[in-house]
Chains A and B, each alone.
Chain A
C-alpha cells in the first residue's frame, strides 16, 4: 500500500533521514521506535507531504506522491494524521472540528457529516462532548477527538505521531484503547511511539530508527526479545531502565 524508497531529508546541512526504506501492507500496523530526534516524526511528515523529501520516493497505492506534479491536497485527502499536541482548532466545537474536512474537502452534506461524526463520537465514548470546545476537554479526550477528526474522512492510512507523549499515564490508556479498536477494524497505521509495551502488543512490524537510519525491522517478538543490532539492544536497555517497558 505504501512504499518508502531511499528517502533522505536534511535540515540546515544536517541529515534527519538517511536513506530510509519501508513497505506497509494493507491492514498492517507499523510502529516506529527510537530516541527523540531519530527521525520518526520527520518520516511521518514526509509521507503526509508536510515535508518535501530531499531524495528518494514515496508511493501510495502504486502512485508516486513525491513527484513534483503531485497535488499534495489530493494525497492528504487519502491520509489521516494525528499529532502529539492534538492540534484541535480551538475556535470550533468538537463536532465542527470533526465535520470541517468531510464538508469542505469531501463535499459531504452538513447533516450527513454531523451524523457520521456523532456515530464516531458515540463509538469512542464521547457522545456528550459534541458541542464542547476543545479547552473544556481533558488531554485524553482531546486526543481521541483528534483521532476521530482524522478518521472522519475515511483515510486509507493513518499516521500517528507520538499521540500519547503529551498525556499523563492515566489518560494514555484511553487513547491506546482507541488505537487498539482501530487495529481490530483493520485500519492501516504507522505509529511513531515511545510506548514500548503498547508497540509490542499492537504492532505487526516494529522498526527501530537511529540517527535517521532504519537500523532494524522485524516482528515485535524478535525486536523486543532478540534484537540483532547493538544500538537496538542499547536503546531497549535504556528504555527498560527508565521503566517504560
Chain B
C-alpha cells in the first residue's frame, strides 16, 4: 500500500481515508486485547478458587511426578513416532493402489475391483482397536511360518490395514473431483486409460486431497497409542505404568502433552495448505 505506482500521487481524500482506517483498526485491536485479558483473569480466578482445585492440582499437575515420568514417557513416545513414520508411507501406497484398482473398468479386473470394494467395506467398518487386537494377538496365535512376532511390526500392519481403507476413499474422492473434460481432452490426444490417470488425473487429484490426507494422519498419530493394548510399551503405556504405581495422573498429562505437541504442527500445516489452495483457486 505504501509503494509508489507510476504516475500516481495519493490524493488527500485517500490519505484521510487511510488515517480513518488506521484509527478504526487500532480501536478493534484494543478492544480485543482488553476483553481477552478480562476473560483470562476471570477464568483463572474461577478455577483456582474452586473448592477442589488443590486436589486437581495435586492429581494432574504434580511437578514432581511430571519430571519423574517425563524421560520414560518421552522414550516411549519415540516408539509412537517410529510406528507413525513407518505406517504413513505404507498407508499412502496401499491406499493409492486400492483407489486405482477401483478405477479400473476393464472386465478382466472385475475380481480385483470386487476385492478392493470388499477391503474398504470391511476395514472401514471394523473399529481400529479391534483390528489391532485381531492382528496383534490373532496372527501370532496361528504360529504360521513367516508371520512376524514383534508387537511393533504387528501394530504397524494393523494400522496400515485400517487406515488404508480411509485413505483409499480420500484418493478416490480426489479422482472424482477432476472434471470429465480433462479426461476427454487426454483421451482425445490418444492417451490410454493408464496414461490419462498417471499424467492428467492423478497429479490434479493428489494436490486436492493433501489437506484431507493430513487430517487422516493427525488421527493416525493419536491412534498409534492403541497399539499399547497388544503389549507395545509406548508413551501411553509408560504413563499408565507410572500412574498405576503412584495413583497420580500427571504422567497421563505428560503423554497427552506430547501427542498435542506432535499434532499441532500437522494441523497448522493442513490449515496453511488449505488456505494456499483456496488462494490459488481464487487467482
Interface residues, chain A, CB within 8 Å of chain B?
Answer: 48, 50, 72-74, 76-77, 79-81, 83, 85, 87-91, 100-101, 104-106, 135, 149-150, 153
Contact = CB atoms under 8 A, between A and B. Distances in A.
A6 to B, nearest CB: 24
Determine chain B's interface SS by DSSP, over half rule: helix
A191 B216 CA distance: 48
Contact of A87 (B181, B195, B203): B181
Contacts of B191: 73, 100-101, 104-105
A88 B195 CA distance: 16
B69 to A, nearest CB: 49
Contacts of A153: 189-190
B192 interface: yes
Contacts of A100: 189, 191, 199
Given A87-B184, A91-B203, A149 B283 contact: no
Contacts of A72: 187
B185 A105 contact: no
A79 B187 CA distance: 11
A106 B189 CA distance: 10
A145 to B, nearest CB: 12
Given A91-B204, A104-B199, A135-B283, A76 B182 contact: no
A88 B186 CA distance: 9
B200 interface: yes
Contacts of B186: 89
Contacts of B283: 135
B190 A76 contact: yes
A127 to B, nearest CB: 22
Give the most central of A80, A85, A91: most B CB within 10 Å: A91
A-B pairs, 9 with minimum CB distance = A87-B185, A101-B189, A81-B188, A77-B190, A105-B190, A76-B190, A87-B181, A91-B203, A73-B192
A89 B188 contact: no
A89 B182 contact: yes
Contacts of A135: 283
Given A73-B190, A89-B200, 11 more contacts: A72-B187, A73-B192, A83-B184, A87-B182, A100-B189, A100-B191, A100-B199, A106-B190, A135-B283, A150-B188, A153-B189
Contacts of A91: 203-204, 207
Nearest to A49: B187
16 contacts: A50-B187, A74-B190, A76-B189, A79-B188, A80-B188, A83-B185, A89-B182, A89-B186, A89-B199, A91-B207, A100-B189, A100-B191, A105-B189, A105-B190, A150-B189, A153-B190
Interface string B189-219: 1111001000110011001000000000000
A90 B204 contact: yes
A153 B185 CA distance: 14
Contacts of A77: 190
